[in-house]
A and B are shown apart, each in its own frame.
Chain A
Amino acid sequence: EAQVTQNPRYLITVTGKKLTVTCSQNMNHEYMSWYRQDPGLGLRQIYYSMNVEVTDKGDVPEGYKVSRKEKRNFPLILESPSPNQTSLYFCASSPLQGRSPLHFGNGTRLTVT
């Protein structure tokens, strides 16, 4: 089944404790992206990647890192999480940026205390 898989679904952590949210897609998509969703603010793009070893900042990259060592994986790294990073995170992928709909993962709800 074609899908984007995020893990974990729920995560509660404390300020400053490094964490990684994984994202994997099995559709051979070139384009992958991370969004955060907050009430009243909609979806905001954190980082995106056009292909392996190519990553770019989105609208709200501060406090986040990503890597794209393999085509299928696009982990989101929070080196030192802070409470303002409490949010719902979505990973998404598509075959071509700008021309195809995005396929979204199931989301990761992160709480930083």
Chain B
Amino acid sequence: AQSVSQHNHHVILSEAASLELGCNYSYGGTVNLFWYVQYPGQHLQLLLKYFSGDPLVKGIKGFEAEFIKSKFSFNLRKPSVQWSDTAEYFCAVITNRDDKIIFGKGTRLHILP
């Protein structure tokens, strides 16, 4: 069965540090990829998405993600985090097998001021 793995459950960084959150999926066919962010007490919001084309996608608030097909990965990056980036981040995948969205278990990011 298709699955999404987010390697880090909880990440703690200081402000201005660089961020990379890992996301791997298990499916060999065509995929659509998403990162969602959930700020404390709020609902999930779309951060960025990849459908096709340039594998480096840019999202809101300075986030970007790179799709590496050979590694089945879609890691999220930000060069310099801010305290306001404290949130939970979810990677999600939709495959062309059944069009079902599959979420990773989330990574809780805590930025120290």
Chain A 75-101 interface 0/1 with B at a Cβ cutoff of 8 Å (1 = within)? 000000000000000101000011101
Is the beta-carbon distance between A42 and B104 smaller than 8 angstroms?
Answer: yes
Residue in B42, B43, B94, B106 whose CB lies within 8 Å of A98: B94
B: number of interface residues (CB 8 Å)? 22
Is the beta-carbon distance between B101 and A98 smaller than 8 angstroms?
Answer: yes
**With A40-B9, A41-B105, A42-B90 as contacts: A101 and B42 at CB distance below 8 Å:** no
In chain A, residues 29-60, which have Cβ atoms closer than 8 Å to a Cβ of chain B?
Answer: 40-43
Is the beta-carbon distance between B99 and A104 smaller than 8 angstroms?
Answer: no
Residues of B within 8 A of A105 (CB): 43
Is the beta-carbon distance between B90 and A43 smaller than 8 angstroms?
Answer: yes
**With A41-B105, A42-B106 as contacts: A99 and B43 at CB distance below 8 Å:** no
**With A97-B99, A99-B32 as contacts: A90 and B105 at CB distance below 8 Å:** no
Residues of B within 8 A of A106 (CB): 42-43
The smallest C-beta distance from A49 to any residue of chain B, in angstroms, reads 13
Is the beta-carbon distance between B43 and A104 smaller than 8 angstroms?
Answer: yes
